Amino acid sequence: MGSPTTQANPLPLSCPGCGAPTQTVLPDEAGYYTSTRRGLKKLIKPAKVEEQKVLDAALQKIGKRRAAKLGLQTMAGIENGKYTQDSAPEVPICDRCHHLLHHRTGVSIAHPSLQSISDTINESPHKYNHIYHVLDAADFPLSLLPNLHKTLDAHLRSRGRRTQEYKYKKDKAIDMSFIITRSDLLAPRKEMVDSMMPILLEILRDALGATGENVRLGNVRCVSSKRGWWTKEVKESIWERGGGGWLVGKANVGKSNLFQSVYPKGWHEETPNFDRIRNEARNQPFQLGVESDALSSLEPLVAAKPECHAPSTFDDTLSLLPPAQPESKYPMMPIISELPGTTASPIRIPFGNGKGELIDLPGLSRPTLEPYVKTENAFDIIMKKRVSPERIVMKPSSSVLLGGGLIRITPKTPDQIFMLHAFVPLETHLTSTLKVEAITAGERGMGINSVLKPECRHKIRSAGTFKLITDVTRRYAGALTRKDAVGLNPSRLPFIVYSTDILIEGCGWVEIVAQVRKPKMWDRDALGEMLGETPPEAPFPEVEVFSPEGKFVGQRRTLGAWLLAGPREKKVGERKGRPRVSMGSVRKSREGRGLGM
């Protein structure tokens, strides 16, 4: 009896974890597969050795029943030299994805340009395409691409009543919506985040520039994949919309994590599988008129067939859009990693039996503080969970260091006291401004832990002076302006409370608050006569921020996260830590043993 022939299963066209094309030439690049890995051995079955041939022959002689009693039926897991349907292994990920998942090591890919993303979307086989512009809540709106809709020819509906819902270009319609991911970083409860939506919409409108003045923003969602906030609604909209859904955004904003949460796993629409019907009709025994009648009955259905189709082979090496994965109810999802630029190539996963597909695109280039941070602290500067900061009182002669000197905040307004709430995963340190200047000049050492590389200490420069322009008097006045208490109008108070949020790219934000006393009426009148105009009610306080190369810093209207979801206030008389235990039983036991107290 001859030995069974071996037929090796081919490698996947692309890695299901990062989407990189499969290759076995460059070990340091994405998509590389090592033949010695256990998962790959299950997929690609090597030629049988002589010992395996002897075992297969012995199993065939003793029969299946006796082999089952001996527990040998699953030893090889093969039949006629091929993997059986039940024992077929899952498609393994490439070596780079394996190291990212299990060892947290890897190299970022070269980020694509915005024009290459536009060219990729233009190759879409769908008539209707929807772009989900993914933003990060940690530093919102620094991750926004203001001119994305113009580059991609995406339609944003204006406020006009007669604005069309779709605009067609070359028989294709592309529209866009916004998704703010990781919204659980803003507040601990969903209701709190929903109350921030009016402020978030105004911040987004300002960041869009001239476009934001007349655009509708009813298509903005605050999503938390970790908590499941609004993921169900986004998933239902993806299913109902169908066509091509494209996740576009900067690197490390949470696109792959969002993909896993909003992809309609397990949802299946009972629509005709046209490829299966056509193959069954053609494989029937030939009879006169049977095949032609079967195929002719498919003509009206094929005309309405959805456009999404996963080819088994891919020969177009010039295409920017790789083939879609074979459709299944529970496909393998893209991997999630803290490394910026994990996704190397578009990942297409269809759903709904050809109804549509969701595509995860590689992240665009995003400025990051990683080159200036020590290697062991590279992942520590990324905000992963919500921070409950302590209130820091910064006086005129003091400064606040974040991360041991990575970011520095110094007051500029004389005789002004500021309150800081640092919503960042960096260690905060309040110190004298003179000490900070001496440390920066190298005249004295730093006695605190710093994530900044020593050779990058001289690269710390001023990122600019920022004014506290948001009036938050009503919120910070407490009972003075509350309607169920004193109920005063904020304009009658002798002070104004200003605030702003200083954004740090990829890390979080610092909420700064300052109370400014209004000028007296006679001072205002005298100043008005000198200037010839009405003076402002109160000057805006200012702070100066220092960062590496003077970059990675922004500003927005304050969200008021400290008042909305700050630390829990202690009750009067509340003790810190565990309550004291009564010592009566201990005293009695010691007296009974004659030990005394």
488 in Cβ contact with 480 (< 8 Å): yes
Q: What is the crossing angle of helices 231-241 and 255-262, to 10°? A: 70
Within 13 A of 546's CA, how many CA atoms are on the CB side? 22
Q: What pLDDT score was predicted for residue 48? A: 44
CA distance 518 to 537: 6
CA distance 131 to 174: 7
Sequence-separated (6 or more) residues with CB below 8 Å from residue 249: 133, 134, 135, 136, 143, 145, 255, 363, 364
- Higher-pLDDT residue of 37 and 294 is 37
Read off the amino acid at residue 572: V
What is the Rg, in whole angstroms, of the alpha carbon atoms belonging to the chain? 32
305-330 pLDDT, tens digit each? 444 444 445 555 677 888 888 888 88
Work out the average pLDDT over 425-441: 86
CATH topology for the 114-269+316-360 domain = Rossmann fold (3.40.50)
Assign 213 a pLDDT band (cuts: 50, 70, 90): confident
- Give me the residue spans of the domains in the chain: 1-106, 114-269+316-360, 272-305, 372-565
Cβ atoms within 10 Å, residue 387:
17
* Whether pLDDT at 587 is above 60: yes
CA distance 213 to 467: 23
- Higher-pLDDT residue of 139 and 103 is 139
Nearest to 305 by CA among 284, 331, 332, 275: 275
**Pairing between strand 172-181 and 220-222?**
parallel
Q: What pLDDT score was predicted for residue 570? A: 55
Work out the average pLDDT over 181-199: 94
* Whether pLDDT at 80 is above 70: no
Read off the amino acid at residue 592: G
Assign 372 a pLDDT band (cuts: 50, 70, 90): very high
User: Looking at residue 537, what DSSP letter applies?
Assistant: S
* Whether pLDDT at 292 is above 80: no
Q: What is the pTM of this model?
A: 0.78
Assign 101 a pLDDT band (cuts: 50, 70, 90): confident
CA distance 391 to 400: 12
Give the torsion sign (CA, 449, 453, 454, 456): negative
- Buried b / exposed e over 354-366, threshold 16 CB at 10 Å, is bbbbbbbbbbbeb
33-74 pLDDT, tens digit each? 887 777 676 665 544 445 566 767 777 777 767 776 666 644
Within 13 A of 8's CA, how many CA atoms are on the CB side? 11
Assign 302 a pLDDT band (cuts: 50, 70, 90): very low
